[in-house]
């Protein structure tokens, strides 16, 4: 229910702006055409981590912004709404997330670095608190659901075993930090370095993987599915799922060097 309310709030705001042609959301089966003259397309996960709300664990909103493809204007609304929403991440003009935690933080990029703003509750303004964020080239933290260790492919198990013993390319033992809230785990990784990952086909390319990969690349990191760069992928459907690995450039290179890191089986638990 919280996701539905958040989705309606975002849709209402975008309608009032007059700037958005299409909104594509995790909460809707298909993209919604809003305005024939709107120059932008918005893709969003309105409330990431919503299962954690009752436990007061941090949640977030993820969004990406594209330009409307004017060459598609002659098509029927449903068709042009879908095609506008299925642009590759390389065509993003902006992306961001809002983290709802001990502070409310808006982290965004317009293609010239990644910057974070913190909400001042006394004025209602977002104040620039983290200018031009640079993810450390290597961290000492990995973020993943370790309970699924025995479901992982051999390459991923070897990587995790190696770095937490301090036997990887970085000669210090890694620590595990896992909130199970994508925005929260990604925000920590962006500031402290390391890798945040979900190795199974679970996260959505269009409105989760693409925006966060855009942000981490603008901060000097990398986003991939364990093999290929996320922003180079062409989405084929709105709710397309994939493995997602986000983090420091050197950590990501080391992880991908193990080859077999994508989990292809999901025994005993929901997708």
- Mean of the pLDDT values across residues 179-186? 96
Q: Report pLDDT digits (tens) over 136-173.
A: 999 999 999 999 999 999 999 999 999 999 999 999 99
Average pLDDT, the chain: 95
Do 82 and 31 meet the contact criterion of CB atoms below 8 Å apart? yes
Query: pLDDT band at residue 105, thresholds of 50, 70 and 90?
Result: very high
Percentage of the chain modeled with pLDDT above 90? 92
- Picking from 248, 263, 211, the residue whose alpha carbon sits closest to that of residue 64 is 211
Query: pLDDT band at residue 53, thresholds of 50, 70 and 90?
Result: confident
- Mean of the pLDDT values across residues 195-202? 96
Task: Give me the pLDDT at residue 267, please.
Answer: 63
Angle in degrees, CA 57, 221, 263, rounded to 5: 65
- How far, in Å, CA of 96 to CA of 42, rounded? 11
Is the model's pLDDT at 271 over the cut of 60? no
Is the model's pLDDT at 268 over the cut of 80? no
């Amino acid at each position: 229910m919280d996701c539905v309310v958040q989705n309606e709030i975002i849709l209402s705001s975008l309608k009032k702006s007059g700037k958005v042609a299409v909104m594509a959301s995790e909460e809707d089966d298909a993209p919604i055409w809003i305005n024939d003259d709107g120059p932008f397309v918005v893709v969003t996960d309105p409330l990431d981590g919503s299962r954690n709300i009752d436990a007061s664990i941090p949640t977030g909103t993820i969004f990406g912004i594209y330009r409307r493809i004017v060459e598609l204007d002659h098509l029927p609304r449903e068709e042009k709404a879908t095609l506008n929403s299925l642009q590759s991440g390389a065509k993003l003009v902006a992306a961001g997330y809002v983290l709802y935690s001990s502070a409310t933080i808006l982290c965004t990029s317009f293609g010239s670095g990644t910057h974070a703003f913190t909400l001042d509750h006394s004025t209602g303004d977002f104040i620039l608190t983290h200018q031009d964020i640079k993810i450390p080239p290597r961290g000492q933290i990995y973020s993943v659901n370790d309970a699924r260790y025995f479901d992982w492919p051999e390459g991923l198990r070897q990587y995790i075993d190696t770095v937490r013993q301090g036997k990887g390319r970085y000669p210090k033992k890694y620590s595990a930090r896992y909130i199970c809230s994508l925005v929260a785990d990604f925000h920590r990784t962006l500031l402290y370095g390391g890798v945040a990952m979900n190795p199974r086909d679970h996260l959505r390319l269009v409105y989760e993987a693409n925006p966060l990969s855009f942000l981490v690349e603008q901060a000097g990191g990398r986003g991939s599915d364990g093999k290929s760069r996320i922003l180079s992928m062409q989405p084929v459907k709105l709710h397309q799922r994939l493995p997602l690995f986000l983090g420091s450039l050197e950590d990501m290179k080391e992880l991908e060097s193990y080859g077999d890191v994508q989990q292809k089986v999901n025994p005993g638990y929901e997708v």
